[in-house]
Chain A
Amino acid sequence: DSGVTQTPKHLITATGQRVTLRCSPRSGDLSVYWYQQSLDQGLQFLIQYYNGEERAKGNILERFSAQQFPDLHSELNLSSLELGDSALYFCASSSISGANVLTFGAGSRLTVL
C-alpha cells in the first residue's frame, strides 16, 4: 500500500456522461498530481495542485477539471465523456510543490462505452 488512495478502482459509464475520481494523498503530502495512462500514450501529466492551489497544467482537456480541498484530497471531474477517455487515471502525491519524488496510487480504471 503506497499510502495514496484512489476511488473508485473501476468505473464503467456511457458516452456523454460525467464522472468524478477521488484521491487522498499520503499523510503529510501537500501536492497532488493527476496522470492519465492510455495504451498508446503512456503516462500523461494532467494537472497538479499544491495545498489547494493549482500549480501546473499539462495535457488536460477542457472537459476535465480538478480541485484540491482543504483536507488535501483531490477530485478529477471528467465530463461529456468520449470513448477515447477510457484509460487508467493515476493520482500521485509529494511532500512539497517542487519535489520530484512522486508516490502513486493504484489508479482508477475508466471505461467509456
Chain B
Amino acid sequence: GENVEQHPSTLSVQEGDSAVIKCTYSDSASNYFPWYKQELGKGPQLIIDIRSNVGEKKDQRIAVTLNKTAKHFSLHITETQPEDSAVYFCAASSPGSARQLTFGSGTQLTVLP
C-alpha cells in the first residue's frame, strides 16, 4: 500500500517568514495530494490540494508543488501569521476501490510573533 513520509515533525518560524513542509510518497500511481490543517480541538480541514497532472497550485499565501518523478510534494506558506500555527498533514490518494487517503505523520507549525 501507499506510504507517506512527512518532514519536519516540528517547525518554528518568525511571523512574516516562509514555512515549507515536505512529503514523499511511495506509490507512483497516486494521483491526488491534499494538505490538511488541524487546529487544537478540531478536525483536519482541507486547505489546498493538487492532482498529478499539475506541477504547482497557489491560493493566496499557500502553494503546493508536486514532483512526480521524485515522488515528493511540498507545502509553502508565505508571510506567515500567528493564526497559521497548527498541525499540517499531507496525504496521498492510493488507487483502489475506494481511493482512501494515506496521511503523513504531521508537522506542528508554530509562528512566533
Q: Which residue of B lies closest to A42 (CB)?
A: B105
Q: Which residues of chain B from 4 to 63 have a CB within 8 Å of any chain A CB?
A: 32, 34, 36, 41-46, 49
CA distance A103 to B89 in the complex (A): 14
Interface size for B (C-beta < 8 A) is 23
Contact A4 B32 (CB under 8 A): no
Contact B104 A107 (CB under 8 A): no
Interface size for A (C-beta < 8 A) is 24
Contact A33 B49 (CB under 8 A): no
Residue B100 contacts which of A48, A90, A104, A105 (CB distance < 8 angstroms)?
Answer: A48
Taking the closest CB of chain B, its distance from the CB of A4, in whole angstroms, is: 7
Q: Which residue numbers of A lie inside 8 Å of B, CB to CB?
A: 2, 4, 33, 42-45, 48, 50, 55-56, 58, 90, 92, 97-98, 100-107
Q: Which residue numbers of B lie inside 8 Å of A, CB to CB?
A: 32, 34, 36, 41-46, 49, 89, 93, 96-106
